Structure 1
Protein backbone atom coordinates (compact mmCIF):
# COMPACT_ATOMS: atom_id res chain seq x y z
CA UNK A 1 0.00 0.00 0.00
CA UNK A 2 1.15 3.55 -0.69
CA UNK A 3 1.01 5.00 2.82
CA UNK A 4 2.34 8.37 1.65
CA UNK A 5 -0.66 8.80 -0.63
CA UNK A 6 -3.02 7.49 2.06
CA UNK A 7 -1.79 10.03 4.62
CA UNK A 8 -1.74 12.91 2.16
CA UNK A 9 -5.32 12.16 1.05
CA UNK A 10 -6.60 13.17 4.51
CA UNK A 11 -8.58 16.45 4.60
CA UNK A 12 -6.21 19.40 4.86
CA UNK A 13 -3.08 17.20 4.68
CA UNK A 14 -0.03 18.48 2.86
CA UNK A 15 3.58 17.28 2.37
CA UNK A 16 6.57 19.06 3.86
CA UNK A 17 10.30 18.47 4.26
CA UNK A 18 11.18 20.36 7.46
CA UNK A 19 14.61 18.70 7.64
CA UNK A 20 16.59 17.52 4.66
CA UNK A 21 15.58 13.98 3.78
CA UNK A 22 12.64 13.82 6.22
CA UNK A 23 9.31 13.91 4.45
CA UNK A 24 6.28 14.47 6.63
CA UNK A 25 2.53 14.85 6.34
CA UNK A 26 1.07 17.87 8.09
CA UNK A 27 -2.38 19.11 8.87
CA UNK A 28 -2.52 22.79 9.71
CA UNK A 29 1.03 23.47 10.81
CA UNK A 30 1.44 20.18 12.75
CA UNK A 31 3.06 16.92 11.69
CA UNK A 32 0.87 13.82 11.93
CA UNK A 33 3.14 11.36 10.05
CA UNK A 34 6.81 10.94 9.21
CA UNK A 35 6.38 9.38 5.77
CA UNK A 36 8.06 6.16 4.64
CA UNK A 37 8.74 7.09 1.02
CA UNK A 38 9.08 4.66 -1.87
CA UNK A 39 6.66 1.70 -1.71
CA UNK A 40 8.30 -1.70 -2.11
CA UNK A 41 11.57 -0.71 -0.48
CA UNK A 42 12.75 -3.00 2.35
CA UNK A 43 13.18 -1.62 5.87
CA UNK A 44 10.65 1.17 5.45
CA UNK A 45 9.22 2.80 8.56
CA UNK A 46 6.56 5.36 9.37
CA UNK A 47 6.50 7.64 12.39
CA UNK A 48 3.08 8.17 13.96
CA UNK A 49 1.48 9.55 17.07
CA UNK A 50 0.17 6.25 18.43
CA UNK A 51 -1.36 7.55 21.63
CA UNK A 52 -2.33 10.64 23.54
CA UNK A 53 0.08 9.40 26.24
CA UNK A 54 3.25 7.35 26.22
CA UNK A 55 1.40 4.56 28.02
CA UNK A 56 -1.26 4.38 25.31
CA UNK A 57 1.40 4.37 22.56
CA UNK A 58 3.19 1.53 24.37
CA UNK A 59 0.37 -0.80 23.27
CA UNK A 60 2.07 -0.88 19.85
CA UNK A 61 5.36 -1.87 21.48
CA UNK A 62 3.67 -4.71 23.33
CA UNK A 63 1.82 -5.94 20.23
CA UNK A 64 4.77 -5.62 17.83
CA UNK A 65 7.97 -5.70 19.91
CA UNK A 66 10.13 -6.42 16.85
CA UNK A 67 8.38 -3.90 14.59
CA UNK A 68 7.60 -0.86 16.76
CA UNK A 69 9.82 1.39 18.85
CA UNK A 70 9.66 4.67 20.72
CA UNK A 71 10.48 7.47 18.30
CA UNK A 72 13.64 9.42 19.04
CA UNK A 73 13.19 12.85 20.63
CA UNK A 74 9.38 12.95 20.56
CA UNK A 75 8.57 9.45 21.80
CA UNK A 76 7.66 10.64 25.26
CA UNK A 77 4.70 12.40 23.63
CA UNK A 78 3.24 9.18 22.23
CA UNK A 79 5.16 8.92 18.94
CA UNK A 80 6.39 5.55 17.64
CA UNK A 81 8.42 4.36 14.69
CA UNK A 82 6.67 1.45 13.01
CA UNK A 83 8.28 -0.93 10.51
CA UNK A 84 5.92 -1.52 7.62
CA UNK A 85 7.03 -5.08 6.86
CA UNK A 86 5.16 -7.66 8.92
CA UNK A 87 2.23 -5.49 10.06
CA UNK A 88 -1.08 -5.71 8.18
CA UNK A 89 -1.79 -2.71 5.94
CA UNK A 90 -5.18 -2.13 7.57
CA UNK A 91 -3.53 -1.70 10.99
CA UNK A 92 -1.07 0.83 9.56
CA UNK A 93 -3.95 2.67 7.89
CA UNK A 94 -5.86 2.76 11.17
CA UNK A 95 -2.74 4.06 12.94
CA UNK A 96 -2.42 6.84 10.35
CA UNK A 97 -6.10 7.71 10.87
CA UNK A 98 -5.60 7.77 14.64
CA UNK A 99 -2.46 9.93 14.46
CA UNK A 100 -4.27 12.36 12.15
CA UNK A 101 -7.29 12.50 14.47
CA UNK A 102 -5.11 13.12 17.56
CA UNK A 103 -3.26 15.97 15.85
CA UNK A 104 -6.41 17.55 14.38
CA UNK A 105 -8.09 17.48 17.81
CA UNK A 106 -5.24 19.63 19.20
CA UNK A 107 -5.47 22.25 16.44
CA UNK A 108 -7.38 25.46 17.14
CA UNK A 109 -10.87 25.14 15.64
CA UNK A 110 -10.01 27.83 13.11
CA UNK A 111 -7.16 25.70 11.72
CA UNK A 112 -9.01 22.36 11.59
CA UNK A 113 -9.85 21.09 8.12
CA UNK A 114 -13.46 21.13 7.07
CA UNK A 115 -14.69 17.56 6.67
CA UNK A 116 -17.88 16.63 5.04
Structure 2
Protein backbone atom coordinates (compact mmCIF):
# COMPACT_ATOMS: atom_id res chain seq x y z
CA UNK A 1 0.00 0.00 0.00
CA UNK A 2 1.30 3.43 -0.85
CA UNK A 3 1.13 6.52 1.31
CA UNK A 4 -1.34 8.06 -1.17
CA UNK A 5 -3.60 5.00 -0.89
CA UNK A 6 -3.48 5.26 2.89
CA UNK A 7 -4.37 8.95 2.79
CA UNK A 8 -7.22 8.22 0.35
CA UNK A 9 -8.56 5.56 2.74
CA UNK A 10 -8.50 8.06 5.61
CA UNK A 11 -10.17 10.79 3.57
CA UNK A 12 -12.97 8.42 2.48
CA UNK A 13 -14.33 8.47 6.05
CA UNK A 14 -17.38 10.68 6.68
CA UNK A 15 -16.31 14.16 7.74
CA UNK A 16 -12.59 13.44 7.28
CA UNK A 17 -10.28 16.19 6.09
CA UNK A 18 -6.56 16.62 5.65
CA UNK A 19 -4.55 19.16 7.62
CA UNK A 20 -0.89 20.11 8.00
CA UNK A 21 -0.66 21.67 11.47
CA UNK A 22 3.13 21.32 11.56
CA UNK A 23 5.44 21.85 8.61
CA UNK A 24 5.70 18.66 6.57
CA UNK A 25 3.41 16.60 8.83
CA UNK A 26 0.12 15.45 7.33
CA UNK A 27 -2.74 14.52 9.64
CA UNK A 28 -6.31 13.51 8.93
CA UNK A 29 -9.03 14.86 11.20
CA UNK A 30 -12.70 14.35 11.84
CA UNK A 31 -14.22 17.49 13.26
CA UNK A 32 -11.35 19.14 15.11
CA UNK A 33 -9.69 15.90 16.25
CA UNK A 34 -6.87 13.97 14.59
CA UNK A 35 -7.49 10.29 13.93
CA UNK A 36 -4.43 9.56 11.76
CA UNK A 37 -0.90 10.94 11.67
CA UNK A 38 0.71 10.21 8.28
CA UNK A 39 4.44 10.10 8.77
CA UNK A 40 7.29 9.02 6.57
CA UNK A 41 7.28 8.67 2.86
CA UNK A 42 9.24 11.89 2.49
CA UNK A 43 12.85 12.68 1.71
CA UNK A 44 15.16 10.21 3.44
CA UNK A 45 12.37 8.02 4.84
CA UNK A 46 12.61 4.27 4.35
CA UNK A 47 8.91 3.52 4.72
CA UNK A 48 5.71 5.37 5.48
CA UNK A 49 3.94 5.04 8.80
CA UNK A 50 0.58 5.92 10.29
CA UNK A 51 -0.13 6.95 13.87
CA UNK A 52 -3.51 5.75 15.10
CA UNK A 53 -5.43 5.27 18.32
CA UNK A 54 -5.22 1.50 18.73
CA UNK A 55 -6.99 1.12 22.07
CA UNK A 56 -8.43 3.08 24.98
CA UNK A 57 -5.40 2.32 27.19
CA UNK A 58 -1.67 1.80 26.77
CA UNK A 59 -1.92 -1.74 28.12
CA UNK A 60 -4.38 -2.83 25.42
CA UNK A 61 -2.49 -0.96 22.68
CA UNK A 62 0.68 -2.85 23.66
CA UNK A 63 -0.74 -5.92 21.90
CA UNK A 64 0.39 -4.32 18.63
CA UNK A 65 3.92 -3.94 19.98
CA UNK A 66 4.01 -7.59 21.03
CA UNK A 67 2.67 -8.85 17.68
CA UNK A 68 4.81 -6.57 15.50
CA UNK A 69 7.87 -5.52 17.53
CA UNK A 70 9.75 -4.18 14.48
CA UNK A 71 6.82 -2.32 12.90
CA UNK A 72 4.74 -0.94 15.78
CA UNK A 73 5.75 1.55 18.45
CA UNK A 74 4.04 3.70 21.05
CA UNK A 75 3.80 7.25 19.75
CA UNK A 76 5.81 9.89 21.62
CA UNK A 77 3.76 12.08 23.98
CA UNK A 78 0.36 10.51 23.23
CA UNK A 79 1.33 6.84 23.35
CA UNK A 80 0.22 6.57 26.96
CA UNK A 81 -3.33 7.13 25.69
CA UNK A 82 -3.26 4.12 23.36
CA UNK A 83 -1.73 5.70 20.25
CA UNK A 84 0.74 3.65 18.18
CA UNK A 85 2.79 4.29 15.08
CA UNK A 86 2.44 1.45 12.54
CA UNK A 87 4.94 1.00 9.70
CA UNK A 88 3.46 0.47 6.26
CA UNK A 89 5.07 -2.13 4.02
CA UNK A 90 6.55 -4.22 6.82
CA UNK A 91 5.25 -7.21 8.74
CA UNK A 92 1.84 -5.68 9.43
CA UNK A 93 -0.59 -6.72 6.66
CA UNK A 94 -2.14 -3.81 4.77
CA UNK A 95 -5.63 -5.00 5.78
CA UNK A 96 -4.72 -4.75 9.48
CA UNK A 97 -3.34 -1.24 9.00
CA UNK A 98 -6.58 -0.19 7.29
CA UNK A 99 -8.61 -1.80 10.10
CA UNK A 100 -6.48 0.10 12.65
CA UNK A 101 -7.24 3.37 10.81
CA UNK A 102 -10.95 2.50 10.83
CA UNK A 103 -10.83 1.72 14.56
CA UNK A 104 -8.95 4.96 15.30
CA UNK A 105 -11.62 6.88 13.39
CA UNK A 106 -14.35 5.16 15.44
CA UNK A 107 -12.57 5.91 18.74
CA UNK A 108 -12.12 9.57 17.87
CA UNK A 109 -15.68 10.03 16.55
CA UNK A 110 -17.10 8.42 19.70
CA UNK A 111 -15.37 11.11 21.80
CA UNK A 112 -16.68 14.04 19.72
CA UNK A 113 -19.71 15.93 21.01
CA UNK A 114 -22.82 14.52 19.32
CA UNK A 115 -23.37 17.80 17.46
CA UNK A 116 -19.90 17.52 15.87
CA UNK A 117 -20.15 13.88 14.75
CA UNK A 118 -20.47 13.23 11.02
CA UNK A 119 -23.82 11.94 9.84
Q: TM-score, normalised by structure 2?
A: 0.89
Structure 2 counterparts to residues 23-102 of structure 1, below 5 A: 23-36=26-39, 42-86=46-90, 87-102=92-107
RMSD: 1.6
Report the counterpart of residue 109 of structure 2 in structure 1.
104
Runs of 4+, deviation exceeding 2 Å: none
**1:49 touches 1:78 (CA, 8 Å); kept in 2?**
yes
In 2, the alpha carbon distance for the partners of 1:18 and 1:36 equals 13
Question: Is the contact made by 1:32 and 1:103 (CA closer than 8 Å) also made in structure 2?
Answer: yes
Q: Is the 8 A contact 1:17 1:24 kept in 2?
A: yes
Query: 1:85 deviation in Å?
Result: 1.8
Query: 1:3–1:36: 8 Å Cα contact kept in structure 2?
Result: no
Which residue of the other structure, out of 17, 20, 33, is the alignment partner of 2:23?
A: 20
Q: State how many pairs are aligned.
A: 113
Question: 2:38 touches 2:48 (CA, 8 Å); kept in 1?
Answer: no
Shift of 1:36: 4.0
